[in-house]
Amino acid sequence: MNFVTFESRCIYPSKIVCVGRNYAEHVAELNNAIPDEPVLFVKPNSAIADELYANDVSTIHYEGEIVCLIERAKIVALAFGFDLTKRDLQTGLKSKGLPWERAKAFDRSAVFSGFVELTVPMASVRMELWLNDGLVQSDGYEAMLFKPEFLLEDISRFMTLADGDLLMTGTPKGVGPLIRDDRFVGKLFSDDKLLLDQQWIVK
């Protein structure tokens, strides 16, 4: 099984629960409707990776996100993550009313930094994504349509969140294509205090 790292531990998530359309400006960016309940989908353990890979067959879009590690039904740690999407394929699937898994749950479609312990108020957390030294995504808890605490309750009504499972909380506006050799830096903050940063070069 694939794993993520939290302090000195390797964590083997059974699944990654992802939230779509959780920032109003990103919803508008893709010409979607504001949802009245969380839009949820699942990525399998096989989607987990620590590198960003472009694709010569179809364009893959990056979506930077705040990621929560769940233990004992609580958020215990945070990471920066990428929900990678085959956008053209997703658009075609949506137009036919079909599920998104082919566009969202493919191998290496969930890329994570290392996790850090959550020791700050969740309400203070925000993210930034930098592409070749330019800021392309920036937002956080305050702008989420559905907050992580509510999402945990909602998901738990129909699905067990096992220790080590991950919650991807949605992406702000500013998504775009992965291009080989581009340099990304993902950052998490508590207000203005840096919690973590990590760099990736697209392969």
Q: Judging by DSSP bridges, how do beta strands 48-49 and 110-112 pair with one another?
A: parallel
pLDDT at 32: 79
Sign of the CA dihedral with 76 first, then 85, 179, and 15 last: positive
Left if phi > 0, otherwise alpha if psi is -120 to 50, otherwise beta: which for 42?
beta
pTM assigned to the model = 0.96
Q: Which residues in the chain come in under a pLDDT of 50?
A: none
Q: Quick one: which of 144, 173, 168 has its CA closest to 155?
A: 168
**Strands, E assignment, the chain:** 4-6, 9-11, 15-20, 39-44, 48-49, 60-62, 64-71, 74-83, 85-86, 110-112, 116-117, 125-131, 134-140, 166-168, 176-177, 183-190, 193-201
pLDDT at 56: 75
pLDDT at 33: 83
Q: Cα angle vertex 54, ends 49, 55, to 5°?
A: 110
Mean pLDDT of the chain: 96
CATH architecture designation of domain 4-201: Alpha-Beta Complex (3.90)
Give the chain's length: 203
Asked if 191 contacts 87 with a C-beta cutoff of 8 angstroms, the reply is no
Residue for token digits 């493919």? 106
